[in-house]
Chain A
Amino acid sequence: MAAFDAVIIGGGHNGLVTAGYLAKAGARVIVLEKRGIVGGACVTEEPWPGFRINTFAYVCGLLRPQIVEDLQLRTFGYEPILYDPQYFIPFPDGRSLLLWLDEDKTIDEIAKFSKVDAKAYPRYAAFWNEVLELVEPTLMAPPVPIADLFGMFAGADAERLLRELFLMSAKDFLDEWFESDHVKAAFATQAVIGTFLGPHSPGTAYVLGHHSIGILEGRREVWGYARGGMGRITEAMAKAAEHFGAVVRTDVGVRRILVEDGRAVGVETDGGERIDAKVVASSIDAKQTFLRLVPPDAVEAEFLDRVRRIRTRGAALKFNAALDGLPQFTCRPETPGPHHRGTVDMIPSIDYAERAYDEAKYGAFSRHPLIESQYQSVLDPSVAPHGKHTMSCFVQYAPTELKSGPWDDFKPRAAEIILDTIEEYAPNIRKIVTDWQILSPTDFERMIGMTGGNIFQGDITPDQIFSFRPLPGWANYRMPLRGLYLCGSATHPGGGVLGAPGYNAAHVILEDLRAHT
């Protein structure tokens, strides 16, 4: 008899969510994490004494409230901090825009750029709120064919929504809502973040929607910090899983998935240990799972070809830094000010972002990248020594492969470009950076197994979501090898620290385990 009901490959947030739900239902579960800490892309580490850095993922908000509740994550140390303002967008012309939690305050900010846009904003916010009402029920359930979903509805409203969400570019979409280039830029970052597409690319309106599904402290479409860092989320998930009886092991990589009589029966670790289980759930991406761990003759060659064609292009790098103070923005010199609390997006215009993408399309790091940054220590002093600060920068565009050579060689030059860019808005940046690190797309793949450095385990464009994720015909977490499941962001509803793929996979696995007992 197998020692475990389920062995889970990868101790990222989705692997841990799957483990938590399976264990809570009474299954015997073991999680194997290659690194020395749990969390995958949702980790906080201390590269410099006293500085707790969100190595990869940097804000919470997408994590589904039901998971927080079911797994008692607050009991195990998860504490979100909702920040306000949500966004600060400094512009090179000396102007700036703050997007507050309070709609009226945001309207006042937008009115500085366009009275027409200020009037449009409440309708824009209401539109996303309504879309969220439609999308939310689909997140915590296996995907249904998009045709079935839209078949439920008829009429002009459904047609309009299909057109806007699935077919339009973010640029065209935002052009229909707003007139000011500044205002459009303020909303455009979320349409391309983590995605190897420019805002002119069709499908990016959906990406904008994907980043609007956040819910935190009962508020929709918002972001926050996890007190102590993002790693607190996955530490809480691991504690919850262990509380319910799961075994969580770190420093245990998986060398291969064991297959007997056409069925996955366990794994062999990098150390040569065999772990038998009734089912294997992989929270790493489809390419890593099928092209590295599954024996090539265990599934059909045609399926493997389709896996190879899943788009997993890297789009960004992380630049993390320890600071001796805070950046002083030319457009808002008050330091510290409310604009340091939340996300700072450096994106002067939609065309600026498109040009940054243009360079990356042909294998170069953008000379003028768009940068999304946070200074979590402003609201959460626990992440930095007294008087010091942390800076997290998500920087686009950084292609998977650089034409000029290996990413490791290019890091010093990339750091200069990033600091040059920030310096245009905050001239003191070089004086306050005491240490920095870059996590390139190569590091994303090398450290946490994200193929190509794609932070979503596969682009979240309309052709790779819902029942198309990871592949049409294989979207219900069960894979073509019996006993093998995917439970990570490679599956519906995709990437980001949602936990929903892990939740959905756990319920499918439980159905199957119960059916076979």
Chain B
Amino acid sequence: MPEGTVAFEVNAPVDRVWSFLSDMRKVGSCVPGVQSIEVLDDRRARWNLKVKIGPLSQEFVVMTETLEQVPLRRGQFRGEADNMEILGTIELSPIENATKVTYTMSVHSKGPLARIMDNFMKSKLKSQTEEFAANVKKALET
């Protein structure tokens, strides 16, 4: 199963970072390719995702669900689309006035194109997680 991890530092206190990352709408807006977010209830949301593969792009609807929230420390969510499952984990640790964020994303593809999608995600996860990190930093530091 392809997995990517990125660790980065945000110049903001942990409570502010937690407040941002535990908000489904805000965290979703930092995920590369998310076009719109519809919050369904306090645990579930629908992301409309557009993924570019080479010269082509594909649109997915991803149903997300918060699996775990340990305030100021850790959050985990699961996303499910046709033929794909996503697991995202965010861990926080305070560093003086800043916060270290470790974001891990794994993707499990299903269906006849699973192996191809896995290969594609292997090549993409690094840039996807790095883009997520850059988006979070941008949102919290500016």
- B residues 86-127 in Cβ contact with A at 8 Å: 112-113, 115-120, 122-123
Minimum CB–CB distance for B105 against chain A, Å: 17
Cβ–Cβ < 8 Å partners of A265 in chain B: none
Given A137-B119, A137-B120, A153–B113 Cβ distance below 8 Å?
A: no
Between A and B, 23 residue pairs with Cβ closer than 8 Å are A130-B55, A131-B54, A132-B54, A133-B53, A133-B54, A133-B123, A134-B56, A136-B119, A137-B53, A137-B117, A137-B119, A138-B119, A144-B112, A145-B112, A148-B112, A149-B113, A149-B116, A152-B56, A152-B113, A153-B53, A153-B56, A155-B57, A161-B55
- Asked whether B55 lies within 8 Å of A137 as measured between CB atoms, the reply is no
Nearest chain A residue, comparing its CB with the CB of B54: A134
Which among A127, A138, A152 has the highest number of chain B CB atoms within 10 Å?
A152
Q: A484 interface residue, CB < 8 Å from B?
A: no
**Chain A interface residue count: which class?**
20 to 34
- Asked whether A135 lies within 8 Å of B115 as measured between CB atoms, the reply is no
Nearest chain A residue, comparing its CB with the CB of B53: A134
- Asked whether A152 lies within 8 Å of B54 as measured between CB atoms, the reply is no
**Chain B interface residue count: which class?**
10 to 19
Minimum CB–CB distance for A320 against chain B, Å: 37
Contact with B119, one of A140, A157, A158 (Cβ below 8 angstroms): A140
Nearest chain A residue, comparing its CB with the CB of B120: A137
Q: A369 interface residue, CB < 8 Å from B?
A: no
Cβ–Cβ < 8 Å partners of A132 in chain B: 54
Q: A441 interface residue, CB < 8 Å from B?
A: no
Minimum CB–CB distance for B128 against chain A, Å: 13
- Asked whether B123 lies within 8 Å of A161 as measured between CB atoms, the reply is no
Q: A142 interface residue, CB < 8 Å from B?
A: yes
- Asked whether B116 lies within 8 Å of A141 as measured between CB atoms, the reply is yes
Q: B142 interface residue, CB < 8 Å from A?
A: no
Minimum CB–CB distance for A79 against chain B, Å: 25
- Asked whether B112 lies within 8 Å of A153 as measured between CB atoms, the reply is no
Minimum CB–CB distance for B129 against chain A, Å: 18
Which among B53, B116, B119 has the highest number of chain A CB atoms within 10 Å?
B116
Minimum CB–CB distance for B61 against chain A, Å: 15
A127 vs B113: C-alpha distance when bound (angstroms): 24
- Complex A-B, nearest 3 residue pairs according to Cβ-Cβ distance, in ascending order: A134-B54, A137-B119, A141-B115
Minimum CB–CB distance for B32 against chain A, Å: 15
Cβ–Cβ < 8 Å partners of A152 in chain B: 56, 58, 113
Bits for A145-175, please: 1 = Cβ < 8 Å to B, else 0: 1001100110101100100000000000000
Which among B113, B120, B122, B123 has the highest number of chain A CB atoms within 10 Å?
B113
Given A133-B53, A137-B119, 12 further pairs, Cβ under 8 A = A127-B55, A131-B54, A133-B54, A134-B54, A134-B56, A137-B116, A137-B123, A141-B118, A145-B112, A152-B56, A152-B113, A155-B57
A229 vs B16: C-alpha distance when bound (angstroms): 60
Cβ–Cβ < 8 Å partners of B54 in chain A: 130-135
Minimum CB–CB distance for B121 against chain A, Å: 8
A153 vs B56: C-alpha distance when bound (angstroms): 7
Cβ–Cβ < 8 Å partners of A141 in chain B: 115-116, 118-119
Minimum CB–CB distance for A167 against chain B, Å: 16
A133 vs B51: C-alpha distance when bound (angstroms): 13
- Asked whether A161 lies within 8 Å of B56 as measured between CB atoms, the reply is yes
Cβ–Cβ < 8 Å partners of B58 in chain A: 152-153
Cβ–Cβ < 8 Å partners of B116 in chain A: 137-138, 141, 144, 149
A142 vs B118: C-alpha distance when bound (angstroms): 13
Minimum CB–CB distance for B113 against chain A, Å: 6
- Asked whether B57 lies within 8 Å of A153 as measured between CB atoms, the reply is yes
Nearest chain B residue, comparing its CB with the CB of A150: B56
A161 vs B112: C-alpha distance when bound (angstroms): 22
A157 vs B54: C-alpha distance when bound (angstroms): 10
- A residues 272-290 in Cβ contact with B at 8 Å: none
Which among B53, B54, B58, B118 has the highest number of chain A CB atoms within 10 Å?
B54
A472 vs B107: C-alpha distance when bound (angstroms): 31
A141 vs B122: C-alpha distance when bound (angstroms): 13
A441 vs B102: C-alpha distance when bound (angstroms): 58
A135 vs B53: C-alpha distance when bound (angstroms): 9
A140 vs B123: C-alpha distance when bound (angstroms): 12
Minimum CB–CB distance for B53 against chain A, Å: 5
- Asked whether A134 lies within 8 Å of B55 as measured between CB atoms, the reply is yes
Contact with B55, one of A140, A145, A148, A157 (Cβ below 8 angstroms): A157
Cβ–Cβ < 8 Å partners of B120 in chain A: 137
Nearest chain B residue, comparing its CB with the CB of A162: B56
- Asked whether B113 lies within 8 Å of A148 as measured between CB atoms, the reply is yes
Nearest chain A residue, comparing its CB with the CB of B111: A148
A439 vs B53: C-alpha distance when bound (angstroms): 41
- Asked whether A144 lies within 8 Å of B113 as measured between CB atoms, the reply is yes
Minimum CB–CB distance for B60 against chain A, Å: 10
- Asked whether A131 lies within 8 Å of B113 as measured between CB atoms, the reply is no
Cβ–Cβ < 8 Å partners of A158 in chain B: 56
Cβ–Cβ < 8 Å partners of B55 in chain A: 127, 130-131, 134, 157, 161
